[in-house]
Structure 1
Amino acid sequence: MNDDARTNIGTPAPTPAGPGSAELRDQVERTRDELGQTVEALAVKADLKAQAKEKTSAVKGQAAEKAALVTEQIREKTGRAAQLVKDVTPDPLLEKAGQAATAARANHTPLLVVGAAVVVFLLVRRSRGCRR
Structure 2
Amino acid sequence: MTQLPHEDESAESPRELRDQVERTRHELAGTVEALAAKADVRARAQEKATEVKDQTVAKAGELKEQAVVKARELKDKAADAATRAQDKLPDLPAPVKDKAVQARAQAARTGRVWEEKAPEPLRARTAQGARAARNNRAVLLAAGGAAALVWLAYRRRNG
Partner residue, 2:35: 42
Partner residue, 1:123: none
Which of 62, 65, 74 is residue 58 of structure 2 equivalent to? 65
Amino acid at match of 2:74: A
Where in structure 1 are there 5+ consecutive unaligned residues? 1-18, 102-132
- Residue 61 to residue 79, structure 1, CA distance change in 2 (3 Å): same
Q: Deviations over 1:4-32 (max 9, x none)?
A: xxxxxxxxxxxxxxx62221122112111
Counting matched residue pairs gives: 83
Amino acid at match of 1:42: L
Alignment partners' CA distance in 1, 2:28 and 2:36: 12
Alignment partners' CA distance in 1, 2:54 and 2:45: 14
- Residue 26 to residue 95, structure 1, CA distance change in 2 (3 Å): same
Amino acid at match of 2:77: L
Which of 63, 68, 73 is residue 80 of structure 1 equivalent to? 73
Q: Deviations over 1:95-119 (max 9, x none)?
A: 5757x99xxxxxxxxxxxxxxxxxx
Percent identity of the aligned residues? 44
Alignment pair present for 1:33 and 2:26: yes
Tell me the TM-score normalised to structure 1 length: 0.54
Structure 1 vs Structure 2 CA RMSD:
2.5
Partner residue, 1:52: 45
The structure showing larger relative contact order (alpha-carbon pairs under 8 Å, at least 6 residues apart) is: 2
Alignment partners' CA distance in 2, 1:40 and 1:69: 39
User: Who wins on radius of gyration, i.e. which is larger?
Assistant: 1
Q: 1:120-131, aligned counterparts within 5 Å?
A: none
Partner residue, 1:110: none
Structure 1 residue 75: deviation in Å? 0.7
Q: Deviations over 1:13-69 (max 9, x none)?
A: xxxxxx622211221121111111110111011111111111111111111111011
Alignment partners' CA distance in 1, 2:101 and 2:19: 92
Tell me the TM-score normalised to structure 2 length: 0.45
